[in-house]
A and B are shown apart, each in its own frame.
Chain A
Amino acid sequence: MSLALYYFLAITAIYILMSWGLYLPYRVAHLHFLTVANMLISGYLAGFLVQNLGFSFWIALILGFAAGGILGYLISLFIGDAPTFTVVIVGFTFIYVSRTVVENLKAVGGTMGMFGLPTVAGTPSTHRTVLLILLYVLVVVVGFLIYRFEHSRLGRAASAVFVDKDLATSLGVDIKRMGRLVQTFSSLIAGGCGVLYGFIYRSYHLDFFTFHLVGIFMTVIFVGGYATMWGTVIAAPALYGLTLILPTEVASWRIVIYGAILIAVLVLKPEGFITRRLAYRVENALTRKRKRHITDPKGD
């Protein structure tokens, strides 16, 4: 396949996964930007393990997931039920601090970064194929898990927390546990994404993990629609693809374009393009066709 297609598919998968990682905590009104720090930390960790210590990619990947999950869990012990503002700042702080640490660590290449990481499997083209398969398996698995979450008791509880935290508590929802769960899961995914992101390019560089990423993923979920998981699936390829089809001159201004789209959506279509109602109607239409019994009446 062409290189351009490869990058498009690979990066889109990362965007979808990372945006889901932001989407899930936002179901309880948390903007869990720590995920970008998770990407960075796990990514560099994996790079170091593979390049400097000779670990296999697969071990490094697993460790990357684990690192993300553990860090996410530990932090969530403090901010599982914190106000959104706090979660945002903690996330930003970790991004900043981890960037500074990596900048100063010679072992991971400092500001130069790491290059020439070994392929995941054999030739570069096999490497690309394997990565793509891996990425999309991940997308399907994570998507499935999130889908099950949405349609479970937990998902409804999360919606309650989003609308009114105090009311949810009085209904018996354990806010702290909910927060810990979604944050840990998101950080876990983000950790894996960080590892994969680096291996897509076979290098790690600080420029990969900037605050711009925060802006990009935020734009994806708010433009796509923060109330359902499908918004991300549509918005991620659309927004990423947008910058590929625009002429390079214009495309270099992509952050400004994303920002403008984000603001326009917030003002004009606050729930995003795929609103909860739309997703519900589509889902209903599909399941009705298969004559499945609907057990979940429309509940906000």
Chain B
Amino acid sequence: MQVFIAQVINGLSLGSIYVLLATGFNLLLIVAMIIHFAYPQVVVFSMYIAWVVLRYTNDNVVLAVLAAIGSSILLNLVSAPLFQKIMKNREEVDINTTMVLSLGIGMIITDILSHGFNKGLPIAFPEALAGTRPLLRVGLISILSGQVSSLLVGVVAVSGIFLLLYKTRAGRAFRAIAEDPAGARLVGIPIVRTGLESYALSGILGGLIAVLLAMLLGYTSPGLGELVAHKVLAVSIIAGLGNLVGGLVVGLALGILEALVQGYISGSWSNAIAFVVMLVVMLFRPRGLFGIKL
């Protein structure tokens, strides 16, 4: 029972990270009309930036968080014109070209990380961020402060982003473009500008995710980007590309499922779960469990 509770908490933290990643990815997909395979790599890059800032400012967490968010936004906004240039029209996703472009960006980021930082070996986050102090003891299991803070921040972030999407003017504009870009134009919603806004928003999300990952995992490495990238795609595909609510459900479910497998079976197989489920869904229900919302 104790393992179960601990793993569910872990799972919720992990799950909220998946949800945020999937939401950032989906936003870019449905508002900016691009497939950004390298979005998780942008996140991992921001983790590295946060680490550097922590190193040089004597563990100033606030600065590190701001730096992470800043670098995500910057990377997104820098790649925006590249994506815009290769898109054939603004109202439909050009899957092939945006995918290849983002794969290229991912290649570059991952390799820079492999060469430029710590010779490509994993780097650990200091105590200030990756709280490894046990906060609670439930029987034999201790719940670390990092897990609790990432859970709290994760829940707040997920609620925040969904509130933004469903209850604010900007969110309405995003959803309008997601449903019908031509119709949105006729209402006077500026497509290109709103598209850029979505780059910025997923940038902010990206920075937050970087911080959350640092808190939950306590480390980062160049390979983390690829692994997480594939998981996020798995979540999006299982839920249905572009499906925000689906991403919420599947992200949380996957997080909890992985955590349970980690707790009861073993670590390396928990990663396989996502892929196996994804393969099955893709082969038998290619539109995802909740439907594609492109």
Q: Does B152 contact A (CB under 8 A)?
A: no
Complex Cα–Cα for A89 and B104 (A): 16
Take A104-B268, A267-B82 as given contacts and tell me if A258 and B107 are in contact as well, using a CB distance cutoff of 8 Å: yes
Chain A hits for B241, CB < 8 A: 85
Give residues 98-141 of B contacting A (CB, 8 Å). 99-101, 103-105, 107-108, 110-112, 115
Q: Decide if A97 touches B111 in the complex (CB within 8 Å).
A: no
Q: Decide if B108 touches A255 in the complex (CB within 8 Å).
A: yes
Sort chain A's interface into a size bin: 35 or more
Q: Does A65 contact B (CB under 8 A)?
A: no
Q: Does B233 contact A (CB under 8 A)?
A: yes
Q: Does B170 contact A (CB under 8 A)?
A: no
Binds A, one of B10-18, B55-63, B188-196, B276-284: B276-284
Complex Cα–Cα for A72 and B248 (A): 34
Q: Decide if A100 touches B278 in the complex (CB within 8 Å).
A: no
Chain A hits for B100, CB < 8 A: 31, 218, 222, 262, 266
Binds B, one of A41-49, A51-59, A76-84, A288-296: A76-84
Q: Does B275 contact A (CB under 8 A)?
A: yes
Q: Does A118 contact B (CB under 8 A)?
A: no
Contact for A253 among B111, B271, B283, CB less than 8 A: B111
Q: Decide if B268 touches A84 in the complex (CB within 8 Å).
A: no
Nearest A residue (CB) for B37: A88
Give residues 65-114 of B contacting A (CB, 8 Å). 82, 85-86, 95-97, 99-101, 103-105, 107-108, 110-112
Chain A hits for B35, CB < 8 A: 85
Q: Does A287 contact B (CB under 8 A)?
A: no
Complex Cα–Cα for A219 and B107 (A): 11
Q: Decide if B97 touches A84 in the complex (CB within 8 Å).
A: no
Closest Cβ of chain B: how far from A213's Cβ, in Å? 11
Chain A hits for B95, CB < 8 A: 83-85
Give residues 212-238 of B contacting A (CB, 8 Å). 226, 230, 233-234, 237
Q: Does A280 contact B (CB under 8 A)?
A: no
Q: Does A90 contact B (CB under 8 A)?
A: yes
Contact for B104 among A84, A93, A263, A270, CB less than 8 A: A263
Contact for B97 among A93, A97, A270, CB less than 8 A: A270
Nearest B residue (CB) for A104: B268
Q: Does A23 contact B (CB under 8 A)?
A: no
Interface centre among B111, B115, B241, B271 (most CB of A within 10 A): B111
Chain B hits for A79, CB < 8 A: 282-283
Contact for A266 among B86, B233, B278, CB less than 8 A: B86
Chain A hits for B275, CB < 8 A: 93, 96-97
Chain B hits for A270, CB < 8 A: 86, 97
Q: Does A29 contact B (CB under 8 A)?
A: yes
Q: Decide if A260 touches B237 in the complex (CB within 8 Å).
A: no
Nearest B residue (CB) for A268: B85
Chain B hits for A88, CB < 8 A: 99
Chain A hits for B282, CB < 8 A: 79, 82, 86, 89-90
Give residues 180-231 of A contacting B (CB, 8 Å). 211-212, 214-215, 218-219, 222
Nearest A residue (CB) for B268: A100
Closest Cβ of chain B: how far from A35's Cβ, in Å? 15
Take A93-B275, A93-B278, A253-B111 as given contacts and tell me if A31 and B99 are in contact as well, using a CB distance cutoff of 8 Å: yes
Q: Does B5 contact A (CB under 8 A)?
A: no
Chain A hits for B96, CB < 8 A: 29, 31, 84
Q: Decide if B279 touches A255 in the complex (CB within 8 Å).
A: no
Task: Please list 23 pairs of residues, one from A and one from B, whose beta carbons are closer than 8 Å in the complex, sorted by A's number.
Answer: A31-B100, A83-B95, A83-B286, A84-B95, A84-B96, A85-B95, A85-B237, A85-B241, A86-B282, A93-B275, A93-B279, A212-B107, A215-B103, A215-B107, A218-B103, A255-B108, A255-B110, A258-B107, A259-B104, A259-B107, A266-B82, A267-B82, A267-B86
- Chain B interfacial positions (CB closer than 8 Å to A): 35, 82, 85-86, 95-97, 99-101, 103-105, 107-108, 110-112, 115, 226, 230, 233-234, 237, 241, 268, 271-272, 275, 278-279, 282-283, 286
- Chain A interfacial positions (CB closer than 8 Å to B): 29, 31, 78-79, 82-86, 88-90, 92-93, 96-97, 100, 104, 211-212, 214-215, 218-219, 222, 252-253, 255-256, 258-260, 262-263, 266-267, 270
